[in-house]
C-alpha cells in the first residue's frame, strides 16, 4: 500500500506562504544589489511596513481560501 496522501487535502496557509516566498526569490534574483531593502520587501509582499504600534502587517492578499487572517 502506498503512503500517498489524498490529493484533495490542501494547506491554504502553506500555499500562500510558498507563493510569497517565491515572489521574494524572484525579486531577489532580479535585483542588482546584494540584498533586498526592507522597503523593497514590503513592496514585493504588498504591505505598508509596520503599524503605528510597531506590529508587522500581514500582506493584504487573498489566498485560495480567501483573505489571510490579520
Which residues on adjacent β-strands are paired with residue 67?
62
User: For residue range 34-70, what is the model confidence (pLDDT) as tens digits?
Assistant: 999 999 999 999 988 665 555 655 555 554 554 545 4
> What Rg value do the Cα atoms of the chain yield, rounded?
16
49 CB neighbour count, 10 Å cutoff: 11
In this predicted structure, what is the pLDDT of residue 2?
63
> Can you spell out the DSSP letters for 1-69?
---PPPTT---HHHHHHHHHHHHHHHHHHH-SSSS--HHHHHHHHT--SB-TTSPBPPP--EETTEEPP
In this predicted structure, what is the pLDDT of residue 5?
64
Higher pLDDT, 67 or 2: 2
In this predicted structure, what is the pLDDT of residue 61?
52
Please give the model's pTM, rounded to 2 decimal places. 0.56
Amino acid at each position: 500500500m502506498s503512503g500517498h496522501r489524498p490529493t484533495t487535502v490542501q494547506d491554504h496557509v502553506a500555499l500562500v506562504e510558498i507563493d510569497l516566498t517565491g515572489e521574494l526569490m524572484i525579486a531577489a534574483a532580479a535585483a542588482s544589489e546584494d540584498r533586498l531593502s526592507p522597503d523593497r520587501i514590503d513592496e514585493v509582499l504588498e504591505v505598508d511596513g509596520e503599524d503605528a504600534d510597531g506590529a508587522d502587517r500581514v500582506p493584504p492578499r487573498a489566498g485560495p481560501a480567501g483573505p489571510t487572517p490579520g
